[in-house]
């Protein structure tokens, strides 16, 4: 359908009606696929065609306006093209305004980045429309800084809104920023607070990036907000929006259509304020002449073969180590450093000696603070703690679990306890894993806001893989060759790890309130319990653990923090995988049915994508369980 210009005064409304009706009936793709490129070409140089196009769009009846405008925005190849095609329809038609400024930005979030850029660029290109741009920015910021939105909306929507904010910011001009500086600042402060509060690292990073960008825009001179975080592709993409220079192209005579695409593609490199290491002083010229023989220097050198690098020796006995670490002689930092580096291997080589002082050593390590900078201090300490725990599990586990709920520890220390318990359980239940699991290497020397749960991410992956492999296995009739079996050392101590942790979670202390503010630790606790449950497969206590865990999950199933909910769902997975099927069906039938209906609910209605996926996996596992039982003749 290609129309040839007729007379100048012909009425377009009929065509508009047709267009509208076709679009509204879902045929956007076909008609606009042909129409838009056609119009793009025609309107490039011809003002009359532009006006025709504008009239065309404006005359579409309201009830079909949305479909048409949506189609145009999605298909236009650039903001300037969109500007030519749509003109100021957003200003003239209320419906169009609603679609562009509200619906596409706040109510939907499935559009691509290019579409967002087109839309916002289009708003920025005309002075009439710029007021809309500012209003849009305000509303976006309101959403971004609202704590309920951060808690309850899905991560993809939050990403979309962040992108939109950054693109808007990149289009703003100086005087406009001046006017709304105060509001920008307020929203930024509120928003960054909500985002940092979240338990999901992705949301935290989003908040940091957007806050940095806003701060950059409003404080062109003077100190700028700067966070430390790992950059990944998503973040780099976000940052690139801010640097995007808006393309000016109200003039119809442009060389080619995709100019804005090109400026989009050739983004100026983000001028990150890299702290360049200050250049060292000019290197001194070295004249290597050590091999020359001095003829008139008649001194005969003495034997210097003993002259080697000085090494400070760490103590050889564990009790001495404890003494050094508790710092009775605070000047000897060299010895302290050597001890910290050596303690793990000492513990592993001297299990009997360690058992004599295990609880004391565990206490020393738990309270150990970095007296002088050692690279990888946190990891060294953690490995030492794990070594102590695996050497003498029962008393040390009792000690650590009791300390987890004790008064005077920081959140970081409580989470350290959980990590140590998990790593030790892992080592005890399957020693060969110990080498395979890679820990985060060198300590990053920056302010890390709650370093990511590396170990639990690793574990999620392993559990997921195991789930996948297991679900397949249930379908097969023959059983696969089992993994090489070895005695599970975790068997005798699993209970000591698990039950103390699960028993006191609902008793708040003055310094630790898992059900309240400290939901991050609660989340980590839940994940820890899931892993312990998983590792307890084939142990004697597994059924009892399963029952307790199911009750625990039931009590917390409506928790608002999505990290906690993900943990609860992992608990259910671990449970289904570890507790022998017969016991599940014998002892937990009713609870299981209730859980099944809850899982169905989660799968459909939970805002978090990961939660939904985990719920689905659990339901599949349960299905497989039932099938397996039905397959076995009773």
Partner 1 sequence: MALPPPDPQFVLRGTSAAVHTLHFSCGGPEPDIPLLFSGSENGFIHVWNLKTHRVDTTLDGHGRKSVYCVETMGAKDRLLSQGRDQRICLWDLAEGRTSVTDSVFTEHVGFCRCSLLKVAQGRWLMAMAARSLEEVQILELPSKTSVCTLKPEVGAKLGMPMCLKLWQPSCGSQPVLLAGYEDGSVVLWNVSMGKALSQLICHQEPVMSFDFDSEKAKGISGSSEKVLSIWSLNEQQNLQVYKTHELVNAGISDITIRPDKKILATAGWDHRIRIFGWKKLKPLAVLDYHTASVHCVSFSDHSDPRDRLLAAGSKDQRISVWSIYAQT
Q: Which two tokens stand for residue 44?
A: 């490039």
| Residue number, 110 or 301, with CB nearest to partner 1 | 301
For partner 1, the binding residues in 343-362 under the rule CB under 8 A are none
Out of 308, 435, 477, 590, the only residue in the binding site for partner 1 (CB under 8 A) is 308
Q: Are 339 and 321 in contact (CB under 8 A)?
A: yes
The separation between CA 188 and the C-alpha centre of its own chain, rounded to angstroms, equals: 20
Q: Does 438 bind partner 1 (CB under 8 A)?
A: no
| Residue number, 300 or 442, with CB nearest to partner 1 | 300
CA distance linking residue 172 with residue 242, whole number of Å = 10
Q: Does 297 bind partner 1 (CB under 8 A)?
A: yes
| Residue number, 281 or 483, with CB nearest to partner 1 | 281
Query: Furthest-apart CA pair in the chain: how many Å?
Result: 113
Task: For the chain, give the number of residues.
Answer: 634
Out of 269, 302, 407, 481, the only residue in the binding site for partner 1 (CB under 8 A) is 302
From residue 447 to residue 486, the character string flagging contacts with partner 1 as x (rule: CB under 8 A) and all else as - is ----------------------------------------
Helix, strand, or coil (residue 472): helix
Out of 9, 296, 369, 630, the only residue in the binding site for partner 1 (CB under 8 A) is 296
CA distance linking residue 497 with residue 525, whole number of Å = 12
Options 42-50, 288-296, 439-447, 565-573: segment touching partner 1 (CB under 8 A) = 288-296
| Residue number, 9 or 297, with CB nearest to partner 1 | 297
CA distance linking residue 530 with residue 418, whole number of Å = 12
Out of 307, 482, 590, 630, the only residue in the binding site for partner 1 (CB under 8 A) is 307
Least distance in angstroms from the C-beta of 279 to partner 1: 12
Q: What share of the chain is helix, strand, coil (3-state, %, to 5)?
A: 65, 0, 35
**Sign of the dihedral through C-alpha 552, 553, 558, 561:** positive
Least distance in angstroms from the C-beta of 302 to partner 1: 4
CA distance linking residue 385 with residue 402, whole number of Å = 16
**Contacts of residue 163, Cβ cutoff 8 Å, sequence gap at least 6:** 113, 116, 238, 241
Q: Kindly determine how many residues on this chain lie close enough to bind partner 1 according to the rule CB under 8 A.
A: 25
CA distance linking residue 534 with residue 283, whole number of Å = 58
Q: CB atoms < 10 A from the CB of 156, how many?
A: 11
| Residue number, 302 or 558, with CB nearest to partner 1 | 302
Options 39-47, 295-303, 364-372, 461-469: segment touching partner 1 (CB under 8 A) = 295-303
Q: Which two tokens stand for residue 122?
A: 């289009």
Least distance in angstroms from the C-beta of 373 to partner 1: 16
CA distance linking residue 397 with residue 421, whole number of Å = 8
For partner 1, the binding residues in 256-285 under the rule CB under 8 A are 280-282, 284-285
| Residue number, 272 or 292, with CB nearest to partner 1 | 292
Least distance in angstroms from the C-beta of 307 to partner 1: 4
Least distance in angstroms from the C-beta of 296 to partner 1: 7
| Residue number, 220 or 291, with CB nearest to partner 1 | 291
Least distance in angstroms from the C-beta of 337 to partner 1: 15
Out of 286, 441, 476, 630, the only residue in the binding site for partner 1 (CB under 8 A) is 286
Out of 9, 174, 256, 306, the only residue in the binding site for partner 1 (CB under 8 A) is 306
In terms of phi and psi (left: phi > 0; alpha: psi -120 to 50; beta: otherwise), the region of 370 is beta
Options 27-35, 249-257, 308-316, 505-513: segment touching partner 1 (CB under 8 A) = 308-316
The separation between CA 626 and the C-alpha centre of its own chain, rounded to angstroms, equals: 35
| Residue number, 221 or 292, with CB nearest to partner 1 | 292
Q: CB atoms < 10 A from the CB of 617, how many?
A: 22
Out of 6, 253, 299, 510, the only residue in the binding site for partner 1 (CB under 8 A) is 299
**Sole residue written with tokens 């989009």:** 264
Options 112-120, 287-295, 413-421, 542-550: segment touching partner 1 (CB under 8 A) = 287-295
Q: Which two tokens stand for residue 456?
A: 């639990």
Out of 8, 265, 304, 632, the only residue in the binding site for partner 1 (CB under 8 A) is 304
Residue by residue, DSSP assigns 102-128 as: IIIIII-----HHHHHHHHHHHHSSHH
Q: Are 573 and 553 in contact (CB under 8 A)?
A: no
Point out which residues bind partner 1 (CB under 8 A): 280-282, 284-287, 289-290, 292, 294, 296-304, 306-310
């Amino acid at each position: 359908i290609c129309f040839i210009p007729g007379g100048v005064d012909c009425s377009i409304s009929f065509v508009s009606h047709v267009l509208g009706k076709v679009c509204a009936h879902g045929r956007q793709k076909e008609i606009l696929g042909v129409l838009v490129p056609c119009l793009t070409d025609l309107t490039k140089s011809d003002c009359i065609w532009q006006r025709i196009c504008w009239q065309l769009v404006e005359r579409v009846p309201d009830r079909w306006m949305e479909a048409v405008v949506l189609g145009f925005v999605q298909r236009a190849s650039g903001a300037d093209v969109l500007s030519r095609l749509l003109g100021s329809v957003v200003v003239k038609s209320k419906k169009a305004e609603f679609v562009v400024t509200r619906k596409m930005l706040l109510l939907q979030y499935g559009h691509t980045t290019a579409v967002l850029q087109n839309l916002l660029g289009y708003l920025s290109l005309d002075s009439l429309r710029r007021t809309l741009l500012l209003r849009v920015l305000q509303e976006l910021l309101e959403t971004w800084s609202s704590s309920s939105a951060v808690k309850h909306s899905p991560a993809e929507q939050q990403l979309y809104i962040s992108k939109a904010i950054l693109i808007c910011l990149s289009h703003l001009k100086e005087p406009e920023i001046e006017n709304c500086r105060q509001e920008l600042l307020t929203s930024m402060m509120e928003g960054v607070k909500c985002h940092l509060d979240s338990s999901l690292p992705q949301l935290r990073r989003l908040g940091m990036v957007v806050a940095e960008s806003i701060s950059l825009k409003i404080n062109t001179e003077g100190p700028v907000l700067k966070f430390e975080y790992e950059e990944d592709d998503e973040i780099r993409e976000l940052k690139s929006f801010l640097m995007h220079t808006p393309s000016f192209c109200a003039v119809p005579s442009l060389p080619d259509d995709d100019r804005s695409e090109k400026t989009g593609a050739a983004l100026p490199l983000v001028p990150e304020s890299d702290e360049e290491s200050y250049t060292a002083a000019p290197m001194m010229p070295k004249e290597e002449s050590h091999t020359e023989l001095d003829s008139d220097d008649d001194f005969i050198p003495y034997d210097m073969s003993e002259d080697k690098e000085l090494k400070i020796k760490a103590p050889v006995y564990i009790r001495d180590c404890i003494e050094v670490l508790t710092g009775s002689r605070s000047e000897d930092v060299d010895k302290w450093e050597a001890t910290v580096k050596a303690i793990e291997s000492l513990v592993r080589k001297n299990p009997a000696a360690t058992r004599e002082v295990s609880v004391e050593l565990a206490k020393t390590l738990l309270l150990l603070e970095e007296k002088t900078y050692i690279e990888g201090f946190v990891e060294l300490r953690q490995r030492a703690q794990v070594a102590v725990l695996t050497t003498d599990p029962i008393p040390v586990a009792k000690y650590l679990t009791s300390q987890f709920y004790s008064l005077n520890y920081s959140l970081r220390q409580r989470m350290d306890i959980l990590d140590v318990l998990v790593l030790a359980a892992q080592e005890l239940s399957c020693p060969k894993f110990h080498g395979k699991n890679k820990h985060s290497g060198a300590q990053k020397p920056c302010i890390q806001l709650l370093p990511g749960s590396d170990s639990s991410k690793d574990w999620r992956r392993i559990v997921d893989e195991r789930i996948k492999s297991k679900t397949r296995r249930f379908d097969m009739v023959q059983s696969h060759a089992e993994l090489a079996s070895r005695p599970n050392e975790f068997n005798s101590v699993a209970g000591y790890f698990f039950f103390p942790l699960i028993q006191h979670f609902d008793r708040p202390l003055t310094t630790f309130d898992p059900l309240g503010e400290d939901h991050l630790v609660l989340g980590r606790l839940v994940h820890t319990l899931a892993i312990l449950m998983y590792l307890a497969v084939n142990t004697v206590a597994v059924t009892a653990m399963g029952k307790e865990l199911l009750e625990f999950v039931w009590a917390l199933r409506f928790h608002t923090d999505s990290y906690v909910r993900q943990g609860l769902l992992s608990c259910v997975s671990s449970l289904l995988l570890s507790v022998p099927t017969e016991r599940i069906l014998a002892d937990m039938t009713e609870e299981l049915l209730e859980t099944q209906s809850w899982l169905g609910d989660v799968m459909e209605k939970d805002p978090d994508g990961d939660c939904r996926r985990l719920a689905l996996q659990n339901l599949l596992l349960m299905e497989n369980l039932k099938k397996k039982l039905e397959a076995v003749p009773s």
